[in-house]
Chain A
Amino acid sequence: KAGVTQTPRYLIKTRGQQVTLSCSPISGHRSVSWYQQTPGQGLQFLFEYFSETQRNKGNFPGRFSGRQFSNSRSEMNVSTLELGDSALYLCASSLNRGYNEQFFGPGTRLTVL
């Protein structure tokens, strides 16, 4: 099976812009979670989607949003970008809610100038 894929792999944006990142889970996986990874804060949970609904949300401002489509693919959006949003954004898929193992994609490296 193909692993989790994310596009694009790299993005450079300027402050105030918005960005959309995409995640395709492992085939058959229905739950997608998003994480932000930075050197200072480590890996932090953004949100989880299952059955096209956000089921759980981390402590991030409303500028961070996401959605999930009927084929389980997920997107996350960050509006009004700030310098501090520069990070590696990782998505992880799991088979179903209640299934523990989460498998990560390669991430999207976002740089905000």
Chain B
Amino acid sequence: GENVEQHPSTLSVQEGDSAVIKCTYSDSASNYFPWYKQELGKRPQLIIDIRSNVGEKKDQRIAVTLNKTAKHFSLHITETQPEDSAVYFCAACTTGANAGGTSYGKLTFGQGTILTVHP
């Protein structure tokens, strides 16, 4: 089955700095890669996602890049703010044309990164 590794487990930055979180996956059939942000005591919230036919996607201060050959994808947050402090999870999933296996519709998550942005 799919295995997702996420690094670093903790990340501390100063407000205004950039933050980068990296994930690797094992199943070449995975074709959808979402990122979730979970604040303390709250539900995971989808913040950005990327599909395997795209190499990069941006949404304001956040961006995700995907390298299918190397099977890794990364989350980039620029101009970090204290409200960006949370746990961030990457995930991998197989959907659509690659479906049919046991990973279809199933999100396999990384272990999470605790991001702390200091004012």
Contacts and interface: CB of A to CB of B under 8 A. Distances in A.
B102 interface: yes
Interface of A: 4, 31, 33, 35, 42-45, 48, 50, 55-56, 58, 90, 92, 94, 97-107
B104 A55 contact: yes
B93 interface: yes
Question: What is the interface of chain A mostly: helix, strand, loop, or mixed?
Answer: strand
Nearest to A58: B106
Interface residues of B, number: 27
B95 interface: yes
A104 to B, nearest CB: 4
Interface string B71-111: 00000000000000000010101011001001111111111
Interface of B: 32, 34, 36, 42-46, 49, 51, 89, 91, 93, 95-96, 99, 102-112
B99 A45 contact: no
A35 B91 CA distance: 13
B51 A42 contact: no
Contacts of A103: 46
Task: In the A-B complex, list the 8 residue pairs whose CB atoms are closest, starting with the nearest.
Answer: A43-B109, A104-B43, A100-B32, A45-B106, A104-B44, A48-B105, A106-B43, A42-B111
